[in-house]
Structure 1
Amino acid sequence: MASPTPRIDAFNPSSVLAGKRRMPEGTFLGYLPAKSWSRSIRPRLTSRIFNQGDMLPLGPTDGAVHVVLGGCLLQERFPFGTGKGAPVVVRFRGTGEFLGEAKLIEPTAHVRTVCLSTTWVMTCSIRRMKVLLNRHPEAELALLRSLEARNRSDEKIYCTADRPPLDRVSTLLLHLAQTAGTRDPDDPAQILIDGPRQSDLARSLLLGQSTVENAVAELRHKHRVIASRYRQLVVTDIARLKRIVTPALPGTE
């Protein structure tokens, strides 16, 4: 049976393509000047929509890179091979991010990338993207700045095993809300995160699934900042979630 036609109306295509939508802080499109995007870069890219569960073409023979305009993706790297029991590095990616950057250096580089929700990307061949980056220094700078920001963000989210599980899960959920969340059309104060399962959160944070489930339950019942639906997390109070992640310093409230 054919996959249903993806919907992109939730992404507000006109504002995104015109560079008028504010992109998440620290992302490629967050750093790239809006005029450069709408006039120089975006017209030379091809728009594509992927369904939930689709693989983004970032394999060793896929000669393209992608800029995410909407959706939530999960990337898996296998630093020690794909044998049984081999460790897997799991990371979430979202709106505004440049994916496949390693291909600009090594075209056969690859990372397994799964769309956890309907995902909208702009695709460009490796050769053309290299030309665009050479011709537009502001785009090259935006890419470099975004990769450094992503490294630092990944360290804060995924590499802090000494922090309590509640802190780590809260930090990841805040990140997902900011990079992959969409406003609930029936209640704009709520942010919908489509796709990630609690098992995905556990794999990315290297925590037991029961540990993540307990943290999510505490955020839902005690702190009342999220709600859970099937393959959807709802941030009901983003301001309070931010305070959990970054408590106010004494004397600042």
Structure 2
Amino acid sequence: MPPKVDAFRTLDVLKGRQTMPEGSFLDHLPGDTWPLLVRAWGSDARVYERDEELPLGPDDRHVYIVLGGCVLQERFPLGTKITRFRGVGQLLGEAKLIEPAASVRTVCLTTTWVMPCPVQRMNVLLHQQPDAQLALLRSLEDRNRSDERIYGTVTRPPLQRVGSLLLHLADVAGTSSASQPGHTTILGPTQRDIADALSMGMSTVENAIRSLRDTHRAITSKYRQFVVTDPSALHDIVMPA
């Protein structure tokens, strides 16, 4: 049985009734293919707690589909650290599908629900289901373009870069409640995580967060929690006329 976690709409997700973030693997995946994955590995879905690492090391043999929550991935090419956030609907560890020994440090930023898929069997399914293979390729291309827009635009003002990342996190990992309509809560990332992801100094990120919160009143913030309270205002900051 899938994990019974109040934070996740488990039945809606497994039945394919929950809308997935635009551009994610599960967004691109045809509706009639998702039940195949659920039948194969839905019962293996499990929850990792905040600060736990997903087993995506060189000796691990699974890829993971994020069903709920948010993770931080870190790579260390040439001695530098590259940090990226990944959210709901994404397939993680995709490099293992072509190089099983590939690895990426993947840390859960909050309680995270994932479906593990054995690499060998996933490759068989993708071969047998061309639409699923196309969905994965499209999601990876969308992710590359999103990464370029969010993490790679280093010449943009810090306020726009931080605001763009918060808008992205609201889309891929945010939650809302009936008690606060129009508000989206992002749990997990710290200001240090944001600074690492954007290759910015901590003081620069702190100033941008303070301006978004106190001057523009587009967000509120606490430790490991941001709430987008005015998405229209935040969007206007990120994409000025």
Same fold by TM-score greater than 0.5: yes
Counterpart of 2:118?
125
Give the Cα–Cα distance (whole angstroms) in 2 for the partners of residues 239 and 9 of structure 1.
Answer: 29
Q: How does 1:152-171 map to 2 (within 5 A)?
A: 152-171=145-164
| 3-state secondary structure, aligned to 1:9 | coil
> Would you say the 8 A contact 1:19–1:35 is kept in 2?
no
Give the Cα–Cα distance (whole angstroms) in 2 for the partners of residues 34 and 237 of structure 1.
Answer: 33
> Would you say the 8 A contact 2:219–2:228 is kept in 1?
yes
Normalised TM-score (structure 2): 0.95
- Moved >6 Å (runs of 4+): none
Give the Cα–Cα distance (whole angstroms) in 2 for the partners of residues 7 and 90 of structure 1.
Answer: 30
Question: Which residue identity is paired with 1:42?
Answer: V
Give the Cα–Cα distance (whole angstroms) in 2 for the partners of residues 185 and 64 of structure 1.
Answer: 36
Aligned with 2:217 (options 218, 224, 229): 224
Q: How does 1:21-32 map to 2 (within 5 A)?
A: 21-32=18-29
Aligned with 1:241 (options 215, 234, 239): 234
> Would you say the 8 A contact 1:56–1:113 is kept in 2?
yes
> Would you say the 8 A contact 1:195–1:231 is kept in 2?
yes
- For each residue in 1:72-101, what CA deviation from the matched residue of structure 2 results, as whole angstroms up to 9, or x when unmatched? 110000112xxxxx3100000000101010
- For each residue in 1:144-203, what CA deviation from the matched residue of structure 2 results, as whole angstroms up to 9, or x when unmatched? 000000000000011111100001001100000000111135313211111000010000
> Would you say the 8 A contact 1:69–1:95 is kept in 2?
yes
| 3-state secondary structure, aligned to 1:124 | strand
| 3-state secondary structure, aligned to 1:24 | coil
Give the Cα–Cα distance (whole angstroms) in 2 for the partners of residues 28 and 127 of structure 1.
Answer: 18
Normalised TM-score (structure 1): 0.91
> Would you say the 8 A contact 2:63–2:96 is kept in 1?
yes
- For each residue in 1:11-41, what CA deviation from the matched residue of structure 2 results, as whole angstroms up to 9, or x when unmatched? 211111111111001110011122211x212
Aligned with 1:94 (options 63, 87, 94): 87
Structure 1: gaps of 5 or more residues: 1-5, 81-85, 249-253
> For the aligned residues, what is the CA RMSD?
1.3
Structure 2: gaps of 5 or more residues: none
Identity %: 57
Counterpart of 1:175?
168
